[in-house]
Structure 1
Amino acid sequence: MTQPTEQSQGAAAGQEPQRAGGPGERSPRRAARQLIAASVGNAVEWYDWFAYSFLATYIADEIFPKGTGNSLVPLLSTFAVFAVGFFMRPVGGLLLGAVADRSGRRAALTLTILLMGGSSLLVAVTPTYALAGVLGPAVLVVARLVQGLSVGGEFAASTTFLVESAGPGRRGLFSSFQYVSTTAGQLVASGVAAVFVRTLDDGQMHQWGWRAPFVVGALLSLVGFWVRRGAQETRSEKHTAGPRPRLFDALRSHPRESALIVGITAGGTIAYYIWTSYLPTYAQVNAGFDKGDALVVGTISLVFFMLLQPLAGMLSDRYGRKPLLLGFAFGFAVLCVPLLHAISDSFVSLLLVQCAGMVLLSGYTAIAAAVNAEVFPARVRAAGIGFPYSLAVALFGGTAPYVGTLFEELGLPDAFPWYVAALCLLSALVYLRLPERAKEELER
């Protein structure tokens, strides 16, 4: 592995430079530190992101009250809740990915977690509409803008950092912790929200309870910041010494690779959002499934999904990326329609369908970071991944619940599974032409 370059950056920041190289460079202890630095921060990022989703009902009641005569309020409500976060993710992927390429992966990682902590605190102190009028929704929009910016930059920086931290033959394993930590953040957010909802009465939740999980998120961000400050830089000396890449260098110099990231991501992101977030709602709308039972099934499935990630990552290190990618994509293209049609009002049916989809989905999620990192050269890797990946997520993943609901409203619920299958088939065609790079050395 290429030696870290902390000396130059540590000296510039007035800190004691960290030692690079040496026999401990690939030690288990060093690897664990790098994994923890990436994973803890990523979990905190996604805790904050999902906490907003779980508490959206309370936020809407307090910040966007019904029955107001001000037309700006429902407009801002719609914009904030459904669009702002995903709209900003490609921007974050581009801007903060460029920071990672120009100033180092660690610098970008510390910046993203500070942005997320600040935005979480901003949500916590957002004034209600009753207190401040339209200022409340405006503050919330700003908070969601910063959250989206941070999440978009987080994937770009942490993907690059994780994969570059891996030793030979372990990139798939390290890559898998991207979704291990993302799922952990989602589960913690769900758990924290559930504790407050069950502990406080409805009046307390509306008055102040919905704010408390965001204060927790802000505090957790400080912990993540502290952990990441102790991580080692993965960008090599040659990229530190050479001319720094400009903002759009990745898009200008590597348009084919940018398009490839979109193709790699399209099927994976819609399958991910359907199976991890939207499936309980889909079961309620299309099969009359009980809401409480659907959430229980979703939680069990997420734990199962999290445990699958390292196993799939190790399989890809041994047998290659393409077998897992093709298994995911063709599996979903063929089985998505029958799986979704198999959902009934039975607890067991939804659990089996969700877990079966999680097994297939792991063929993509566990190695997405490694596959994306192997597409771009080190000099523009973070920005090269960040923008097209986040754009694909916004276009296909972020719209998945709305497309599913739209098909239902149009009286075409059976069309939605075919839409998902078609996108997975599109990604399968991309995977067929993707070079196998699992055994190649990664440029650093």
Structure 2
Amino acid sequence: MLAVVALWLRRQLDETSQQETRALKEAGSLKGLWRNRRAFIMVLGFTAAGSLCFYTFTTYMQKYLVNTAGMHANVASGIMTAALFVFMLIQPLIGALSDKIGRRTSMLCFGSLAAIFTVPILSALQNVSSPYAAFGLVMCALMIVSFYTSISGILKAEMFPAQVRALGVGLSYAVANAIFGGSAEYVALSLKSIGMETAFFWYVTLMAVVAFLVSLMLHRKGKGMRL
């Protein structure tokens, strides 16, 4: 049913690329992508850190609250359901803020705040006993992640010319998301099993530093841009 609705919505949209752009020789080619390798590498860096943080504080967090903080599974699930609902609601708000301050500033906020607060938040959650305190800590983390998630799609699209936009964004996102985001839970649980759980905290922090450094290379633009 949702697929039918999506198809109907797509049929109402104007084509975002022009015929002249799609007719270019390098449109959708690896050669064209190579000419934009700087953008490709930057998107890899953004996505590696962003996906890792996102999966850490969404998918993995429920297990973390149960296995590490010792909470009952139902309590942990309730906390995460509420946190993810609020997380959903704040996306347009943080996105609107990005329209005011720019994509570069938003990504710098994400990278710096994630680098500074990941270890303290995860460390505090290790011994948290109050569901309300746990919810507050998780929301702090998700607020930080929102500086990335609220603009992720538009930021990456703005970095590629139209003729290689789909390939550039799709490939870089898929590779980084699969390697770093998809492996987050496996890496976290593996390190926990050998008594090195806190190493995962620093791994996430390191990737946040990477995102911050990559963000420094962004042009000072992104306010009200047209694709």
Where does residue 274 of structure 1 map in the other structure? 56
For the residues of structure 1 that align with 2:161 and 2:172, how far apart are their CA atoms?
15
Contact 1:289 1:346 in 2 (8 A): no
Where does residue 258 of structure 1 map in the other structure? 40
C-alpha displacement at 1:257, in angstroms? 1.6
SS at match of 1:231: coil
Contact 1:265 1:392 in 2 (8 A): yes
Matched, 1:389 2:155: no
SS at match of 1:277: coil
Match of 2:193 among 394, 406, 409: 409
Where does residue 215 of structure 1 map in the other structure? none
Q: With the length of structure 2 as denominator, give the TM-score of the two structures.
A: 0.93
Q: Report 1:360-379 matches (<5 A).
A: 360-379=144-163
Contact 2:54 2:181 in 1 (8 A): yes
SS at match of 2:44: helix
C-alpha displacement at 1:240, in angstroms? 4.0
Cα distance, 1:237–1:439 mapped onto 2, change above 3 Å:
farther
Contact 2:188 2:197 in 1 (8 A): yes
Contact 2:53 2:204 in 1 (8 A): yes
For the residues of structure 1 that align with 2:224 and 2:135, how far apart are their CA atoms?
39
Cα distance, 1:221–1:355 mapped onto 2, change above 3 Å:
same
For the residues of structure 1 that align with 2:153 and 2:177, how far apart are their CA atoms?
14
Where does residue 319 of structure 1 map in the other structure? 101
For the residues of structure 1 that align with 2:23 and 2:32, how far apart are their CA atoms?
19
Contact 1:270 1:420 in 2 (8 A): yes
For the residues of structure 1 that align with 2:168 and 2:217, how far apart are their CA atoms?
19
Contact 1:250 1:383 in 2 (8 A): no
C-alpha displacement at 1:253, in angstroms? 2.0
C-alpha displacement at 1:226, in angstroms? 2.4
For the residues of structure 1 that align with 2:24 and 2:204, how far apart are their CA atoms?
44
SS at match of 2:17: coil
For the residues of structure 2 that align with 1:379 and 1:255, how far apart are their CA atoms?
14
Cα distance, 1:240–1:332 mapped onto 2, change above 3 Å:
closer
Q: With the length of structure 1 as denominator, give the TM-score of the two structures.
A: 0.49
**Gapped runs of 5+ residues in structure 1?**
1-218
Contact 2:33 2:164 in 1 (8 A): no
Matched, 1:249 2:31: yes
Cα distance, 1:383–1:241 mapped onto 2, change above 3 Å:
closer
Where does residue 289 of structure 1 map in the other structure? 71
Which of structures 1 and 2 has the bigger CA Rg?
A: 1
Matched, 1:436 2:220: yes
Q: Output one character per residue of 1:338-357: Cα deviation in whole Å (capped at 9) or x when no partner.
A: 10111123211210111111
Where does residue 225 of structure 1 map in the other structure? 7
Q: Output one character per residue of 1:127-184: Cα deviation in whole Å (capped at 9) or x when no partner.
A: xxxxxxxxxxxxxxxxxxxxxxxxxxxxxxxxxxxxxxxxxxxxxxxxxxxxxxxxxx
C-alpha displacement at 1:241, in angstroms? 4.7
For the residues of structure 1 that align with 2:33 and 2:20, how far apart are their CA atoms?
21
Q: Report 1:301-316 matches (<5 A).
A: 301-316=83-98
For the residues of structure 2 that align with 1:236 and 1:282, how far apart are their CA atoms?
48
For the residues of structure 2 that align with 1:311 and 1:441, how far apart are their CA atoms?
18
Question: Runs (4+) of structure 1 moved beyond 6 Å?
Answer: none
- Counterpart AA for 1:334: I
Larger relative contact order (Cα-Cα within 8 Å, sequence gap ≥ 6): 2
Q: Output one character per residue of 1:209-264: Cα deviation in whole Å (capped at 9) or x when no partner.
A: xxxxxxxxxx3222222222222211124314544624423432222221111012
C-alpha displacement at 1:407, in angstroms? 0.6
C-alpha displacement at 1:441, in angstroms? 4.3
Contact 1:316 1:324 in 2 (8 A): yes
Matched, 1:399 2:183: yes
For the residues of structure 1 that align with 2:29 and 2:22, how far apart are their CA atoms?
16
C-alpha displacement at 1:372, in angstroms? 0.6
For the residues of structure 2 that align with 1:433 and 1:369, how far apart are their CA atoms?
18
Contact 1:321 1:367 in 2 (8 A): yes
Where does residue 298 of structure 1 map in the other structure? 80
For the residues of structure 1 that align with 2:224 and 2:62, how far apart are their CA atoms?
40
For the residues of structure 1 that align with 2:149 and 2:22, how far apart are their CA atoms?
31
For the residues of structure 1 that align with 2:51 and 2:154, how far apart are their CA atoms?
16
Contact 2:101 2:223 in 1 (8 A): no
Aligned length: 225
Q: Output one character per residue of 1:81-110: Cα deviation in whole Å (capped at 9) or x when no partner.
A: xxxxxxxxxxxxxxxxxxxxxxxxxxxxxx
C-alpha displacement at 1:281, in angstroms? 0.4
Contact 1:249 1:380 in 2 (8 A): no
Give RMSD over aligned pairs.
Answer: 1.6
Q: Report 1:73-84 matches (<5 A).
A: none
- Counterpart AA for 2:145: L
- Counterpart AA for 2:177: V
C-alpha displacement at 1:303, in angstroms? 1.1
Contact 2:43 2:156 in 1 (8 A): yes
**Gapped runs of 5+ residues in structure 2?**
none
Contact 1:342 1:349 in 2 (8 A): no
Match of 2:18 among 214, 220, 236: 236
